[in-house]
Structure 1
Amino acid sequence: MRADPAARIVGTVWGLLVLNTLGSAGAKTIVPLPRSLIQMVTMGALVAAFALALALNLRLRVRASAFLLLLTLLLAASVISSVHLESGFGALFRCARLALFVGTLWLLTRWWDGGLTFVRHHIRMYFAVLGSVAAGLVVSPGAALPDLYGGRLVGALWPLTPPQIGQYAAVITGLTVLLLLGRRTDRTSAAIVIVPSLVLLALTHTRTATLGLLIGLALAIGSLLLTSAAARRFFTWAVLCVLVAGVGFASALQAWFLRGQSKENFSNLTGRAKVWDALLAAPRSTPEKLFGVGLGDKSFGGLPIDNSWLAVYNEQGLIGVTLVAAAVVVLGAVALLRPPSLQRACSIFLISYCAIASYTEAGLGDASPYLLHLTVAASLLATPVPAPPGPAPGVRRRRAPSWARTSEVV
């Protein structure tokens, strides 16, 4: 059976959104890529994604989504905070980017049906990104494991940092494990994704991604324990493996987790706590407390903030923090209220992963992979579109006029 052309275009749009969120700052690549060229490619991908989604949904048929409504309000708050130009004209440019990003997500809601379509798109696209990382490692191990990053894996073909690679590897590993438990993929296909992803995750030495994967999978599989024998078996074996690894490889795991850092450096989260303290201690006017200083590069005093909540507070104020928290809480509440299912488990994994990663990584308040993760979770929690009723037995169904033929939820 031939694939639906619209479904292929939706997958292309999702791939372009993934490309847009890869970023332009990172490690040195084998072939030096000017940052202006990378930004041109990523922004071009976003414009192309919006144009394709609009061409596919010219009648602007969208589904109601509290999550996207809150993101739209966050966009409005971002524009209000950015018009004062405290962060420069770049703030307005970032607002325009966020507007195209959120607009594309709204256009794609037409294809939200509570199924696993976007999960599969997500896995394929990020697996392709990890393929480029693996290719860079094979072509030039020295560039892929530079001393500048302490021997951690980076993108040698595209400038990706260790936390980015670890995030992508952890997310697609968790989703693939859940698809395997739900019998929506076979073991061979799952192994092709899981094994290399775990190897790349280990080479990045990314603690946040590792903890997010373990805790997120534990919560997601826990939601299936009462209804899935496969989930119960996997959970039992996973607990046994963790206990054995904890006893037999405790010193090796501790060395990997510390990454050669001192306990003092580890306790202040590799210097992050100092930036956080300085950000919170900085004087702010009432408008800055409410709306922030405008969309920026998620830094303070020239140093990365590396915390989603503080980054949102700095750039979009307390109103932005409230809107982002409401979006996460709404998704989590809807997921908890749904009956046990594979879709619910996948959404719980994505929501919990983003919540855990938000403590040491920024991105919840702007166009980023984290918003794509949460969007996939929202699509999984969407109510399936009811099929039109069929004709009664023995009654020939009359063809509806062209203006009345539609199956979308407006």
Structure 2
Amino acid sequence: MREETPRTVGIVWGLLVLNTLGSAGAKTIVPLPRSLIQMVTMGALVAAFALALAVNLRLRVRASACVFLLTLLLVPSMLSSAHLESGFGALFRCARLALFVGTLWLLSRWWDGGLTFVRHHIRLYFAVLGSVAAGLVVSPGAALPDLYGGRLVGALWPLTPPQIGQYAAVIIGLTVLLVLGRRTDRTSAAVVIVPSLVLLALTHTRTATLGLLIGLALAIGSLVLTSAAARRFFAWAVLCAAVAAVALGSVLQAWFLRGQSKENFSSLTGRAKVWDALLAAPRTPSERLFGTGLGDKSFGGLPIDNSWLAVYHEQGLTGVALVAAVLVVLGGVALLRPPSLSRACAIFLISYCAIASYTEAGLGDASPYLLHLAVAASLLATPAAATPPATSGVPRRRVPRWAQRSEVT
């Protein structure tokens, strides 16, 4: 018997989403000081932890290997940040990660393998995309700036094209799976999927697009043997992909290249140069093992844009091993579960995060990627065993065997 999830849990999840939106991005229509944005996002995390604690005063939690490994990730983060090589900001980021993981522990009480957190995830990120669409309508020039090559950015809140693409891809994939599992109607799904697809196309985000396609293929493939709707969707998707490749091949290629040269494309928009420099930098044995401390996921003033290298730089080989263990454990549990909609959604989220980790940072710190993995962990959790209701507040007195015989009249 599943415990009813309080409405406050949805509010807490929304505050966690707000905290992970970040404070760096494009210029907004109304200039927002970065200090103000950081105050709002950090205040949202403190409020999330306080509300989660208020709704779970007895500190009842569910065993979760994912959150346990994230808790262990705090050890190399604190050990490396204590040297203050990355400044006092590293200790602040450690405190943020600790509050983030603590909030996940408090919410784990309601992780029962159901779709509650999937629905929260879709609603909240769709609201974020709604603000992006509103900014596009109000000021198309600010939403499609030349600085980002005409790619869609957040004009009301500073969101970058990869962020918007990530949010759009995740809710599209989850909504498609809900339709296949008959947990939502097609009209409601179209309201989410169609505008999200438009926004994803405007961001020109290749990582999000590939993550969506590969993640959906793996998730739907896990349902093919048990769902006729999944088989039909898979067949139609393959057919449509073949037709699009033939009829729109040049258009798709132009969208995928984004006007870049072959040299720029082969170096992953300059990312490979930063990666080579990071790997070639001299490090002490302590830095190799525990990293240099939590920072802004940059090296030499340039973004790292790779979760594994960012974790190696900031939390060392210990952090890399723990992050890898999170993905391996979640993936292994998903493979051992019988086919179901919850399992398919978990497979989509895990595979998406694994694919995006190659060109996006975030697996080692409080980020949307950790929220995606937390949703996957909630989907893979087993329902709590139902406790039989007590018949009375007074303990039942044992009756002797001789007294159990019926009277003879």
Which deviations, in whole Å up to 9, do the C-alpha atoms of 1:97-147 show, x marking residues without a partner? 000000000000011111000000000000000000000000000000000
Aligned partner of 1:405 in structure 2 is none
Alignment correspondent of 1:17: 16
1:388 offset after TM fit, Å?
Answer: 2.5
* Residue in 2 that maps onto 1:407: none
Query: Which residue number in structure 2 is paired with residue 264 of structure 1?
Result: 263
Matched, 1:131 2:130: yes
**Deviation (angstroms), 1:219:** 0.1
RMSD, matched Cα: 1.2
* Partners of 2:318 and 2:295 in 1: CA distance: 16
Number of the residue aligned with 2:145? 146
Aligned to 1:289: 288
Distance 1:398 1:58 in 2: 26
Alignment of 1:209-358 (within 5 A): 209-358=208-357
Return the alpha-carbon distance in structure 2 between the equivalents of residues 55 and 139 of structure 1: 39
Cα distance in 2 between the residues matched to 1:284 and 1:117 = 45
* C-alpha displacement of 1:387: 2.0
1:59 Cα deviation after fit = 1.1
Partner of 2:392: 398
> In the comparison of the two structures, how many residue pairs are matched?
393
1:294 is matched by which residue type in structure 2? Answer: G
TM-score (norm 2): 0.95
The residue identity in structure 2 corresponding to 1:329 is V
Mapping of residues 20-169 of structure 1, within 5 Å: 20-169=19-168
Q: 1:152-191 residue pairs with structure 2 within 5 A?
A: 152-191=151-190
Give the SS at the match of 2:226: coil
Q: Secondary structure at the match of 1:270?
A: coil
Aligned to 1:378: 377
Structure 1 or 2, whichever has the larger Rg, is: 2
SS at 2:239 equivalent: helix
Q: Secondary structure at the match of 1:359?
A: coil
User: How much has 1:386 moved relative to structure 2?
Assistant: 2.0
For 1:283, give the aligned amino acid: P
Give deviations 1:62-93, integer Å, cap 9, x for gaps: 11111111000001210011000000000000
How far 1:400 sits from its partner (Å)? 7.4
Q: Distance in 2 between matches of 1:314 and 1:143?
A: 34
Give me the whole-angstrom Cα distance separating, in 1, the residues matched to 2:76 and 2:268.
30
Shift of the alpha carbon at 1:297?
A: 0.2
In the TM superposition, what is the alpha-carbon distance from 1:398 to its structure 2 partner?
2.3
Compute the displacement of 1:58 (Å).
1.0
Structure 2 distance, partners of 1:80, 1:65, is 24
Q: Distance in 2 between matches of 1:399 and 1:184?
A: 40
Secondary structure of the equivalent of 2:346? helix
Distance across 2 between alignment mates of 1:119 and 1:365:
22
1:286 maps to amino acid: P
**Residue 389 of structure 1, CA deviation:** 3.5
Instruction: Write the distance in 2 (CA, Å) between the matches of 1:399 and 1:22.
Output: 49
Partners of 2:387 and 2:107 in 1: how far apart?
21
Letter in 2 for 1:76: V
User: How far, CA to CA, are the matches of 2:16 and 2:220 in structure 1?
Assistant: 28
Give the letter aligned to residue 392 of structure 2. R
- One-letter code aligned to 2:255: W
CA separation of 1:94 and 1:400: change in aligned 2, threshold 3 A: farther
Change (3 A) 1:86 1:236: same
**1:214-272 CA distance string (max 9 Å, x none):** 00000000000000000000000000000000000000000000000001100000000
Give 2:41's aligned amino acid: T
1:53 is matched by which residue type in structure 2? A
Unaligned runs of 5+ in 2: 396-409
Secondary structure at 1:113's aligned position in 2? coil
Q: Distance in 1 between matches of 2:231 and 2:217?
A: 11
TM superposition score normalised by structure 1: 0.95
- Residues of 1 paired with 2:231 and 2:309: CA distance? 38
- The whole-number CA distance in structure 2 between the counterparts of 1:382 and 1:400 is 35
Partner of 2:402: none
CA distance in 1, matches of 2:376, 2:216: 14
Output the CA distance in 2 between the equivalents of 1:318 and 1:79: 14
SS at match of 2:29: coil
Could you tell me which amino acid in structure 2 is paired with residue 75 of structure 1?
Answer: L
Residue 385 of structure 1 deviates from its aligned partner by 1.2
Whole-angstrom distance in 2 between the partners of 1:158 and 1:238 = 34
**Cα distance in 2 for residues equivalent to 1:94 and 1:122:** 24
> Matches of 1:335 and 1:356 in 2, distance apart?
17
- Offset, 1:390: 6.2
C-alpha separation in 1, matches of 2:38 and 2:50? 18
Q: Structure 1 232/399 Cα, relative in aligned 2: closer, same or farther at 3 Å?
A: farther
